[in-house]
Amino acid sequence: MALRCVVVTPERTQLDREAEYISLPMFDGELGVMNGRAPMIGRLGYGTMKLQTAAGPERYYIDGGFAHVEGDVVNVLTGKAIPVDLLDSEEARNALQEALELPASSPEESQIKATAVMKARGQVRASR
């Protein structure tokens, strides 16, 4: 039996399909999900989600959010999910450059900067 992967963004349900194996980009590293995983709620980072489907592998860039695994359904809540082929590596690199130039003179500012850098790095890595 296969897993069902549902990716929901605020605009629409972007993806709803069966997969044998899903690799999620969690906040602190990758997490593989196969059928029969214990129920889980996790925080997603910025990175690539990999699906192993009957039609072949698929890769999406995930922009933070949450993963909710229950039974054989994996719900992914994210701001955007972009197929990796559609990412622009030039743009991602520029975003990283901008993020690195942000000020970090107070704890709050440095946290904002760290998030921006993390996000841009995830995009650069995914667009390769």
The region of 4-12, 15-23, 54-62, 85-93 touching another protein under the rule CB under 8 A is 4-12
117 makes contact with another protein (CB under 8 A): no
Which residues fall within 8 angstroms of residue 105, CB to CB, at 6 or more apart?
none
Q: How many Cβ atoms from other residues are within 10 Å of residue 12's Cβ?
A: 8
Could you say which of 26, 104, 117, 118 contacts another protein (CB under 8 A)? Answer: 26
Instruction: Report the distance separating Cα 15 and Cα 77, nearest Å.
Output: 11
Residue 120 is which amino acid?
A: A
Instruction: Report the distance separating Cα 77 and Cα 62, nearest Å.
Output: 9
Nearer to another protein, 43 or 128 (CB): 43
Which residues fall within 8 angstroms of residue 82, CB to CB, at 6 or more apart?
60, 61, 63
1 makes contact with another protein (CB under 8 A): no
Could you say which of 13, 54, 86, 101 contacts another protein (CB under 8 A)? Answer: 13
Binding site for another protein (CB under 8 A): 8-13, 26-28, 31, 38-43, 64-66, 68, 75, 77, 79-80, 106, 108-109, 111-112
